């Protein structure tokens, strides 16, 4: 595990597994971290077994990275910039970018702006990217996620409370996650025309956050879709998720 310092002075944690080929860079979802989203689910192991170099970043506010409680330290643009700064830190000139849920939105922004991304995989998202400009607010509002992370979470809907349960399970800093949910309360994606690289949409068949994934895949200039078993938390564990990911990044 290694750290680097962002332009605005935060220390972010990342981990590298050495292998061959174009590095595969992983960005996790909200509340989760490298271990919860990628290691414990078997994703890192599957990529290692294929011989790939793998890099995973703990986003600001998550995992072993800095966790300021000021919402101003969080925005979609800052988090996308963090990923690009990691490319700089490691001297990458070509990458395969992979993101899940929150990390999928970040990865779309990175791929739209950075020519070093040559392939893209986004999971845990669907038509909400098109209809809501990012997070699918038809499933959960970020204000509900803020409420779920508070000491008094009375009234938080069950979908948001799923993330509270995950936060407690991974020992997340709930005040930092509240700040993340406040800072990210924006619609960062207005179109996908600039995401021209080959892109795989990976969606769980019972994932409300990945509703109508075929619409998202069709809206991408070079998008394809694979649907795997599972809901938002379990799809990433599915062997079909691992095999589709490994096959696409080869």
Share of the chain above pLDDT 90, in %: 92
What's the distance, CA 147 to chain centroid?
21
Q: Quote the tokens at residue 192.
A: 């996908």
Half-sphere exposure for 88 (CA within 13 Å, toward CB): 11
* Claim: this prediction has a pTM higher than 0.95: yes
* pLDDT at res. 154: 73
Structure tokens at 24: 């595969």
* CATH class (in words) of the domain with range 2-137+186-249: alpha beta
24 phi, psi to nearest 5 deg: -100, 115
Tell me what pLDDT residue 155 has.
74
Residue 172 makes CB contacts below 8 A (sequence gap 6+) with: 31, 33, 62, 166
User: What are the residue boundaries of the structural domains of the chain, listed by start?
Assistant: 2-137+186-249
Q: What is the pLDDT of residues 191-215, one digit of tens each?
A: 999 999 999 999 999 999 999 999 9
Per the structure block, which two tokens stand in for 1? 């595990």
Average pLDDT, the chain: 96
pLDDT in tens, 102-135: 999 999 999 999 999 999 999 999 999 999 999 8
pLDDT tens-digit readout, 74-89: 999 999 999 999 999 9
């Amino acid at each position: 595990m290694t750290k680097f310092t962002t332009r605005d002075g935060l220390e972010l944690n990342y981990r590298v597994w050495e292998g061959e080929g174009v590095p595969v860079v992983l960005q996790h979802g909200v509340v989760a971290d490298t271990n919860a989203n990628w290691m414990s689910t078997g994703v890192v192991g599957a990529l290692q077994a294929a011989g790939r170099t793998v890099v995973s970043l703990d986003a600001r506010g998550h995992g072993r990275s800095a966790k300021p409680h000021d919402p101003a330290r969080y925005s979609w643009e800052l988090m996308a910039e963090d990923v690009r700064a990691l490319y700089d830190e490691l001297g990458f000139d070509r990458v395969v970018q992979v993101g899940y849920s929150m990390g999928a939105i970040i990865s779309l922004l990175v791929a739209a702006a950075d020519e070093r991304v040559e392939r893209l995989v986004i999971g845990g998202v669907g038509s909400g990217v098109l209809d809501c400009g990012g997070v699918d607010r038809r499933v959960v509002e970020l204000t509900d996620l803020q409420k779920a992370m508070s000491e008094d979470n009375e009234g938080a809907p069950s979908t948001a409370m799923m993330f509270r349960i995950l936060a407690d399970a991974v020992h997340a800093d709930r005040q930092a996650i509240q700040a993340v949910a406040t800072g990210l309360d924006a619609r960062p994606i207005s179109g996908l025309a600039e995401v021209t690289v080959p892109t795989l949409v990976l969606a769980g068949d019972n994932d409300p956050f990945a509703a109508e994934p075929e619409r998202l895949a069709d809206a991408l200039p070079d998008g394809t879709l694979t649907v795997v078993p599972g809901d938002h938390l379990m799809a990433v564990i599915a062997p079909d998720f691992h095999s589709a990911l490994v096959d696409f990044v080869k």
